[in-house]
């Protein structure tokens, strides 16, 4: 055996103390848990005939029987334990010159060898080095514990639910139209609100850095006519006019009901948009080409200089807007096909 009985090792110290008091073990109060396990194991094994009939110790003797194994293995363990105890006692006797000449030393050695339970208990106290199998099992247990902990933290964080919700919100034609507009505004913003020097971070000699100028959008530009002329022109061509066309020429509203007049029952599973994304995208592409590509001013309502400035500010000019309109048109057609 390589330690105390496994059943004893699984018990709490308070249970071991109660068991020691029950079986009549002496001088156990100052013992640590591991020492108390060994003392109880030795005492119960020496008095097996007395306690084997106790139902409360049935698990202990069953565990001991499993640990002992087959008769051949048990006999081999006994022989190894006897050799270890004999060698240990002989070394003690040889170190003590008085006891070496005393016949009691030989009788003590013989008594230890002839007591299998006591010999195995003493042999179990001799620490043995960990085998490669023990190390591998410890590593495996640690790996499993870390993996289970990481999985638990991941589940508790709610990342899966948030990811799924974000995916559902972005998987719409409206989100595609929104990001196309944000892309246009990103390149148009320097013309709407030009950057202005806000402050300068001084050089830090310790970090060997140079002065760094920090620029922020000039919000006072909101009070100028240049801002409003650019903002209103882009809003009209990229949002207001296409939204107006998409509202009145709404194919989703016309096909969401059964019956030619559109006043019948609503078709199950069909989505009706307030502004049809398909006609919105087509109208945006047409008005962009007419205004920025052909220079239409709508009887002077749109300034040619403003059109040039917006055309220069947008990514690839009006052609980039046409590409975005084409992408949203394909997305709207694909979305309608999936819902058929």
Question: 164 and 268 in contact (C-beta within 8 Å)?
Answer: no
**Number of structural domains found in the chain:** 3
Q: Do residues 102 and 150 both lie within one domain?
A: no
Residues 115 and 136 in one domain: no
Residue 1 in any domain: the answer is no
Quick check: helix, strand or coil at residue 12? coil
- Same domain, residue pair 199 and 304: yes
Range of the domain at 10: 6-129
**Which residues have a Cβ under 8 Å from the Cβ of 228 and sit 6 or more positions away?**
none
Residues 174 and 277 sit within 8 Å (Cβ to Cβ) = yes
Judge whether 226 lies within some domain: yes
Contacts made by residues 237-240, CB under 8 angstroms, sequence distance 24+: 237/284, 237/287, 237/288, 237/291, 237/292, 238/181, 238/184, 238/284, 238/288, 238/321, 239/181
Q: Specify whether the CB–CB gap between 11 and 3 falls below 8 A.
A: no
Whole-number pLDDT of residue 155: 79
227 and 314 both lie in a single domain: yes
Does some domain include residue 141?
A: yes
Half-sphere exposure at residue 101, Cβ-oriented, CA atoms within 13 angstroms: 2
- pLDDT tens by residue, 52-64: 788 888 888 888 7
For 56-95, what is each residue's pLDDT tens digit?
Answer: 888 888 887 776 654 434 544 555 455 556 665 566 556 5
- Based on the domain organization, do 211 and 266 belong to the same domain? yes
Question: Does 72 map to a domain?
Answer: yes
Q: Are residues 209 and 120 in the same domain?
A: no
- Tokens 């246009």, residue located: 184
Same domain, 256 and 186: yes
Same domain as 263, residue 142: no
- Give the domain-ending residue among 143, 163, 183: 163
307 in the same domain as 188: yes
Q: Long-range contacts made by residues 172-179, C-beta under 8 angstroms, separation at least 24?
A: 172/335, 173/277, 173/328, 173/331, 173/332, 173/335, 174/277, 176/327, 176/328, 176/331, 177/277, 177/280, 177/281, 177/328
The answer on 187 and 58 residing in a single domain is: no
pTM for the whole thing?
A: 0.53
Does residue 84 lie in a domain region?
yes
Within a domain: 109: yes
My answer on whether 185 and 326 are in the same domain is yes
In the chain, which stretches have pLDDT less than 50?
A: 1-2, 70-73, 75-76, 80, 99-100, 105, 112-113, 260-266
> Are 321 and 185 in the same domain?
yes
Q: What is the predicted pLDDT for the residue at 72? A: 39
């Amino acid at each position: 055996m390589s330690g105390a009985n496994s059943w004893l090792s699984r018990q709490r110290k308070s249970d071991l103390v109660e068991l020691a008091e029950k079986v009549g073990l002496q001088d156990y109060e100052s013992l640590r848990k591991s020492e108390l396990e060994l003392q109880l194991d030795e005492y119960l094994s020496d008095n097996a005939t007395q306690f084997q009939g106790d139902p409360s110790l049935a698990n202990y003797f069953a565990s001991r029987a499993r640990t002992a194994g087959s008769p051949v293995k048990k006999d081999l363990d006994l022989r190894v334990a006897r050799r270890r105890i004999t060698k240990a006692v002989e070394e003690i006797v040889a170190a003590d010159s008085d006891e070496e000449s005393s016949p009691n030393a030989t009788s003590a050695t013989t008594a230890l060898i002839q007591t299998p339970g006591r010999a195995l208990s003493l042999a179990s106290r001799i620490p043995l080095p960990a085998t490669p199998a023990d190390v591998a099992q410890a590593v495996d247990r640690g790996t499993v514990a870390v993996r289970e902990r990481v999985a638990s933290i991941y589940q508790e964080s709610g990342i899966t639910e948030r990811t799924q919700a974000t995916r559902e919100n972005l998987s719409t034609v409206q989100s595609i139209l929104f990001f196309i507009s944000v892309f246009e505004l990103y390149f148009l913003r320097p013309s709407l609100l030009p950057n202005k020097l806000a402050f300068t971070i001084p050089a830090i000699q310790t970090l060997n850095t140079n002065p760094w100028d920090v620029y922020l959008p000039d919000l006072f530009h909101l009070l100028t006519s240049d801002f409003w002329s650019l903002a209103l022109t882009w809003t009209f061509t990229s949002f207001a006019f296409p939204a107006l066309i998409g509202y009145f020429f709404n194919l989703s509203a016309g096909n969401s009901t059964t019956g030619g007049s559109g006043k019948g029952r609503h078709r199950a599973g069909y989505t009706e948009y307030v502004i049809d994304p398909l006609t919105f995208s087509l109208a945006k592409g047409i008005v962009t080409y007419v205004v920025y590509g052909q220079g239409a001013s709508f009887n002077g309502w749109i300034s040619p200089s403003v059109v040039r400035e917006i055309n220069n500010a947008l990514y690839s000019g009006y052609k980039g807007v046409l590409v975005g309109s084409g992408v949203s048109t394909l997305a709207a057609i694909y979305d309608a096909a999936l819902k058929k």
